[in-house]
Amino acid sequence: ETGVTQSPTHLIKTRGQQVTLRCSSQSGHNTVSWYQQALGQGPQFIFQYYREEENGRGNFPPRFSGLQFPNYSSELNVNALELDDSALYLCASSGGQGGETQYFGPGTRLLVL
């Protein structure tokens, strides 16, 4: 059984640019959630995708958007990057026989200069 994978592992962007982060869910999972973890903080819920539809969103502006594909992999897109967007972006998958338990990937470390 393959765990949750994310790419890239690290990324450096400049303010105003756009970024796309990718996540492959764990085998058998149909739900993907994205979280932002600022340094020294707990993860903050961005949004969740269930069977290719957005299924709940946290307190993040519309420039944070996402997609889920038929194979349940997912993308997080952030437009007009700001310095405060620098963080670890975590993807978690759940569903199937695992139920609500969320399993996290290793994250993508984004630095905005």
Partner 1 sequence: QQQVKQSPQSLIVQKGGIPIINCAYENTAFDYFPWYQQFPGKGPALLIAIRPDVSEKKEGRFTISFNKSAKQFSLHIMDSQPGDSATYFCAASAPLGNEKLTFGTGTRLTIIP
Judged by the rule CB under 8 A, the positions of this chain that interact with partner 1 are 4, 33, 35, 40-45, 48, 50, 55-56, 58, 90, 92, 94, 100-107, 109
Nearest-approach distance from CB 105 to partner 1, in angstroms: 5
Nearest-approach distance from CB 95 to partner 1, in angstroms: 10
Nearer to partner 1, 20 or 44 (CB): 44
Cα–Cα nearest to 108, from 1, 4, 11: 11
C-alpha 101 chain-centroid distance: 16
Cα–Cα nearest to 9, from 19, 21, 27: 21
Nearer to partner 1, 16 or 54 (CB): 54
Nearest-approach distance from CB 74 to partner 1, in angstroms: 14
DSSP H helix total and E strand total for the chain: 0, 11
Q: Residue 3 in contact with residue 45, Cβ under 8 Å? A: no
Nearer to partner 1, 84 or 100 (CB): 100
Q: With the CA atoms of 76, 2, 102 and 100 taken in that order, what torsion angle do they form, in degrees rounded to the nearest 10?
A: 120
Nearer to partner 1, 50 or 69 (CB): 50
